[in-house]
């Protein structure tokens, strides 16, 4: 997905999983490596890193 779509989809999806669960975001846009961690910091979620185009985010609240 191209930015800002990965962050938009993450924002929608994160509320559907329980606290402590991990959401995997698939994004082939290089900007996602900056945008997703920044969104996590702003929203108090934990960015767990990336494996290629897969970015893992743990819901904290």
11: closest CA among 52, 51, 33, 44?
Answer: 44
Indicate if 40 belongs to the active site: no
Catalytic residue, candidates 1, 2, 3, 53: 3
User: For the residues of 22-61, what is the DSSP string, one character each?
Assistant: EEEEE---TTHHHHHHHHHHHHT-EEEEEETTEEEEE---
**Catalytically active residues, by annotation:** 3
């Amino acid at each position: 997905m191209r930015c800002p779509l990965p962050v938009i989809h993450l924002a929608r999806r994160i509320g559907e999983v329980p606290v402590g669960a991990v959401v995997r975001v698939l994004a082939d846009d290089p900007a996602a490596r900056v945008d997703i961690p920044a969104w996590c910091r702003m929203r108090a979620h934990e960015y767990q890193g990336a494996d290629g185009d897969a970015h893992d985010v743990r819901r904290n609240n």
